[in-house]
Amino acid sequence: MLNGKKIVLGVTGSIAAYKSALLVRLLVKQGAEVRVVMTESAAQFITPLTLSVLSKNTVYTSYQAENSTWNNHVELGLWGDLMLIAPATANTISKMAYGLCDNFLMACYLSAKCPVVFAPAMDRDMFLHPSTQKNIATLEKYSNHLIAPEDGALASGLEGPGRMAEPEHIIKFINDFFLPNQSKLKNKTILINAGPTQEAIDPVRYLSNHSTGKMGYALAEVAAQRGAKVILVSGPTHLTTNNSNIEVIPVVSANEMANACFNHFEKADISILSAAVADYAPLEVSSQKIKKQESPLTIELKKNIDIASELGKRKKKNQLLIGFALETEQELTNAKIKIQQKNLDFIVLNSLNDGGAGFGTDTNKITILQHDGRQKVFELKSKLAVAHDILNEIELLLP
Ligand code: CTP
């Protein structure tokens, strides 16, 4: 994911510096070129040699370091696509906030033209101190990006916030950071529907299904991370999002979901229909609670509108329409019929016969069937990873 990206990694004097080794390894493994700058106190926690071997580059500790000339800090600052300071101690954060330039790392920081990301590491009370919080707020005002420390056991024996984010989380943050610039979804408008619908029987009862909306919400999050503007038409779920690139339109019934989708379809470059829309609704909704009776109760159902089919009719040449198919038997045959009937560009097939796939799980196992018959079978993965696979497939269809 980080192929060819140039990362300047600043390491400062915290016990978390030992994690820099893993951080460098993960960055290099993802294809990044890493140049490490360490403060003198960082070098007491982990040797420059270790980080030099892992990064396959000279590690800079001071102006006097081997191969280092007086203007290296300017060159490094200009060379990087991103400067990552991890761990960032309270001391370094304070220097960054005030522009204090008393070491090589600070000279690089102050001359960096690239985005700067910092991952604080310190004791709980140092992190919570108003002065540190003020410095962090100052850095955020300078458009430096904070990777918040995590809660847990600290080297001091205290518990609380202050642990540097785990290297895997830092790598994910950096991946997400670069994603929008590389993605073809940047600035695209994506309409996603998600979750179940509820079809009222009377004021207290409804017909619905087991959908939780997790797949649709994961798609919305990943699309937004890639720089898309997402309109998420959501049936009733317990899920929330605070991503400012996602506009949530809450709906209850299939009819409401249909109207919301129709209202936003025209401006959508891509529509992904992951909702489990109820196919039927009670013909009549009782205005009063239906009372128990001795004889069996029959509720007559009427067919709901098929949102995907209707959007398939309205679809223009420059729009993509992606559907889902949940099947319990003859999966491929049924899914192929749905692609044609609904005029989809591709369909994401879930089979309830696959363990780990389906409602409420955090994982999913999908097959993507293209309109032209090509198919790709994917492994069981987290719904977030599946969302990446689906959006990658969409990107392949974009010019
Ligand atoms: N769909 C829809 N409107 C409906 C029913 C389904 O938009 N009233 C969409 C779903 O969101 C999904 C696709 O159509 O993208 C396939 O849904 P699925 O439930 O698998 O199939 P159905 O068309 O409902 O057919 P069946 O229930 O007979 O399998």
pTM over 0.85? The answer is: no
- Find the angle CA(331)-CA(333)-CA(338) to the nearest 5 degrees: 90
> pLDDT class for 76, splitting at 50, 70, 90?
confident
Region 256-273: mean pLDDT is 98
Beta strand residue intervals within 229-384, DSSP E:
229-234, 246-250, 270-273, 280-282, 301-303, 320-327, 346-351, 363-364, 366-370, 375-377, 381-382
Query: Which ligand 1 atom is at minimum distance from the Cα of 307?
Result: 7
350-371: pLDDT as tens digits = 988 787 777 777 788 999 999 9
Tens of pLDDT, residues 268-323: 999 999 999 999 999 999 999 999 999 999 999 999 999 999 999 999 999 999 99
- Tell which atom from ligand 1 comes closest to the C-alpha of 322: 15
Check 57, 91, 175, 209 and give the catalytic one. 209
Active site residue 209: yes
Residue 313: other Cβ atoms inside 10 A = 8
Strand partners, 83: 8, 116
Task: Write the CATH number of the domain with boundaries 6-177.
Answer: 3.40.50.1950
Pocket of ligand 1 (CB under 6 A): 254, 273, 275, 277, 279, 304, 306-308, 323-326, 338, 342
Nearest to 393 by CA among 343, 333, 325, 323: 323
Asked if residues 308 and 337 have their Cβ atoms less than 8 Å apart, the reply is: no
Q: 366-377 pLDDT, tens per residue? A: 999 999 899 999
- Each residue's pLDDT tens digit, 91-124: 999 999 999 999 999 999 999 989 999 999 999 9
CA of 165 to the centre of ligand 1 (A): 41
**Whose Cα sits closest to atom 16 in ligand 1?**
325
Residue nearest to atom 14 of ligand 1 (CA): 308
Residue 229 has pLDDT above 90, yes or no: yes
pLDDT tens per residue, range 211-223: 999 999 999 999 9
Pocket test for ligand 1, best of 324, 340, 343, 366 (most atoms within 8 A of CB): 324
pLDDT average, residue stretch 195-202: 98
**What's residue 73's pLDDT?**
72
User: Per the structure block, which two tokens stand in for 287?
Assistant: 């205005």
Domain residue spans of the chain: 6-177, 189-281+298-397
Tokens standing for residue 357: 């796939």
Fold of 189-281+298-397: Rossmann fold (3.40.50)
| In the predicted structure, residue 239 carries a pLDDT above the cut 70 | yes
- Per-residue pLDDT at 182: 79
What pLDDT is attached to residue 176?
85
pLDDT of residue 66: 53
Is it the case that residue 69 has pLDDT exceeding 70?
no
State residue 286's pLDDT score: 97
State how far the Cα of 19 lies from the Cα of 38, in Å rounded to an integer.
13
- Residue type, position 252, single letter: V
| pLDDT confidence tier of residue 159, bands split at 50, 70 and 90 | confident
Mean pLDDT, the chain, rounded, equals 93
- pLDDT of 379: 85
189-281+298-397 matches 6-177 in CATH topology: yes
Report the pLDDT averaged over residues 39-50: 96
User: What is the pLDDT at residue 67?
Assistant: 55
Share of the chain above pLDDT 90, in %: 79
List the single range of 239-243, 327-331, 380-384 with lowest mean pLDDT: 380-384
* Most informative mutation of 306, 321, 348 for ligand 1 (most atoms within 8 A of CB): 306
Q: Which atom of ligand 1 is nearest to the CA of 254?
A: 8
Cα–Cα dist 368/280, whole Å: 27
Question: What is the band of 71 on the pLDDT scale with cuts at 50, 70, 90?
Answer: low
Q: How many CA atoms lie within 13 A of 215 on its CB side?
A: 33
| Sign of the torsion formed by the C-alpha atoms of 252, 262, 283 and 216 | negative
Kindly give the distance from the C-alpha atom of residue 235 to the centroid of ligand 1, in angstroms, as a whole number.
15
Q: Residue with the nearest Cα to atom 4 of ligand 1? A: 306
In the reported structure, the alpha carbon of residue 134 is separated from the centroid of ligand 1 by a whole-number distance in angstroms of 52
pLDDT of 154 reads 83
Q: What percent of the chain has pLDDT over 70?
A: 98
- Once rounded to an integer, what is the mean pLDDT over residues 60-70? 64
